[in-house]
Amino acid sequence: MSTQHHAIPAPVGGNLVNATTFVCGVLIAVMATIILIRLFFGLASTTNVNDGYSWGIWVVVDVFIGSALACGGFCMALLVYIFNKGQYHPLVRPALLGSLFGYTLAGAAITFDLGRWWNFWHIFWPGYFNVNSVMFEVAACITLYIIVMWIEFSPVFLEKMGLHDTRKKLNKVMFIFIALGIVLPMMHQASLGTMLVVMGDQVNPLWQTPLQPLIYLLTAITLGYGVILFESCVAASAYRRQIEVPLLNPMARVMLGIMGFYLFARFADVTFRGVLGLAFQFNYVALTFWIENACFAAPFLLIGSAEARRNPARLFLAGIAVMLGGVLLRLNGFLIAFDTGPGWSYFPSLPELLVTVGIFAAEILGYVIITRRFPVLPREDAQLAH
């Protein structure tokens, strides 16, 4: 890849039992209990989903948003391996780790949202394939991508276990997995947008557009960079480490470029379809539309200049804004501005919320354990030498 010298990754070390991991553990235990209840007593025992809103937050947040937030790994791979920007290499492993957990848990979340979950294997069984289904494309891509990502990330474990020969052998074929690791998420992130298209006129016209696959893909990429900004800042302050500002600064610029294109596409689409008027009505749909797009526009104000991008507080806020924008885009399309007809309503139940919180807790716990025990984050002393 790049001949440039980077900081070698190393385990952070330290105690695994602390306030954060304890709280995460408790939340995961609560989630596990609720999931057991759901698996044995049915969806109605724990969730508020109904025939009008068959997808609640377990799908929209855990899968759609969870997988979009997990695009960090794919975005870094895109930057480092496709655009050959080797200097970003230290960011790849931590980003990949976040993606790994995001996707694996998104995949798991689908299983317990299935009404007849014991039939989940049907989608992997060739006799049951429905190759014309968007859902099939998403399921197949996400599953393959989860496997590919574990392979991409496996050097971390191989290094830790001292299996250097295996690692060398794996390195020879790694380019295949890296390529797949970029193609697969592009495919299914776009398909997640197609899911909205096939929902038809239940989706508000502000979000119902044939351009949705492109919109989902572009926001998934910007979200990936936003998450890296967020995660780098949180990891640095949690572990009291130096923030990789020299890397984040130019990366944030790339993100702004893509986001500019996205905002252009979004408003061009809304305008040309002649539904922009809906955004100027006095209702909650218009409000949430503007909040969503304000979140995407905010980073231009926060980190528009190179000088501003040197301030980690601004990078952090910009990361949050981008994430919120992406989250709202998906929530708006599938839940907030989704209208099945008169009489139908949906608001997540407490158990539903606790499961979603538990999923994120599992991601945090996994991140803490792996970064403390396995070589993921750049070695601190090497970083100081920069």
Q: Which of 312, 325, 366, 378 binds another protein (CB under 8 A)?
A: 312
313 binds another protein (CB under 8 A): yes
357 binds another protein (CB under 8 A): yes
Query: What's the CA gap between 246 and 72, in Å, rounded?
Result: 18
Interacting stretch for another protein, rule CB under 8 A, among 85-93, 95-103, 198-206, 341-349?
341-349
Q: Which is nearer to another protein, 122 or 386 (CB)?
A: 386
Interacting stretch for another protein, rule CB under 8 A, among 72-80, 154-162, 205-213, 343-351?
343-351
4 binds another protein (CB under 8 A): no
352 binds another protein (CB under 8 A): yes
Q: Which is nearer to another protein, 66 or 193 (CB)?
A: 66
Cβ of residue 107: shortest distance to another protein, in angstroms?
Answer: 24
305 binds another protein (CB under 8 A): no
234 binds another protein (CB under 8 A): yes
311 binds another protein (CB under 8 A): yes
Q: Which is nearer to another protein, 216 or 360 (CB)?
A: 360
Output the 3-class SS for the chain: CCCCCCCCECCCCCCCCCHHHHHHHHHHHHHHHHHHHHHHHCHHHCCCCCCCCCCCHHHHHHHHHHHHHCCHHHHHHHHHHHCCCHHHHHHHHHHHHHHHHHHHHHHHHHHHHCCCHHHHHHHHCHHHCCCCCHHHHHHHHHHHHHHHHHHHHHHHHHHHHCCHHHHHHHHHHHHHHHHHHHHHHHHHHHHHHHHHHHCHHHECCCCCCCCHHHHHHHHHHHHHHHHHHHHHHHHHHHCCCCCCHHHHHHHHHHHHHHHHHHHHHHHHHHHHCCCHHHHHCCCHHHHHHHHHHHHHHHHHHHCCCCCHHHCHHHHHHHHHHHHHHHHHHHHHHHHHCECCCCCCCCCCCHHHHHHHHHHHHHHHHHHHHHHHHCCCCECHHHHHCC
Q: Which amino acid is at 29?
A: A
Interhelix angle 312-331/245-272, nearest 10 degrees: 30
Q: Which of 272, 350, 369, 381 binds another protein (CB under 8 A)?
A: 350
Query: What's the CA gap between 112 and 350, in Å, rounded?
Result: 16
Q: Which of 68, 354, 359, 368 binds another protein (CB under 8 A)?
A: 354
Q: Which is nearer to another protein, 167 or 241 (CB)?
A: 241
87 binds another protein (CB under 8 A): no
Question: Six-digit token pair at 376?
Answer: 């993921």
Query: What's the CA gap between 198 and 205, in Å, rounded?
Result: 13
Q: Which is nearer to another protein, 71 or 354 (CB)?
A: 354
Q: Which of 10, 158, 186, 243 binds another protein (CB under 8 A)?
A: 243
Question: Six-digit token pair at 302?
Answer: 């926060």
Q: Scan residues 24-53 and list those touching another protein (CB under 8 A).
A: 44, 48-53
Q: Which is nearer to another protein, 3 or 132 (CB)?
A: 3
348 binds another protein (CB under 8 A): yes
**Residue count, binding to another protein (CB under 8 A):** 32
Q: Which is nearer to another protein, 56 or 193 (CB)?
A: 56
295 binds another protein (CB under 8 A): no
8 binds another protein (CB under 8 A): no
Q: Which of 316, 334, 338, 374 binds another protein (CB under 8 A)?
A: 316
Cβ of residue 105: shortest distance to another protein, in angstroms?
Answer: 18
Which residues sit at the interface with another protein, rule CB under 8 A? 44, 48-53, 233-234, 237, 243, 310-313, 316-317, 320, 343-350, 352-354, 357, 385-386
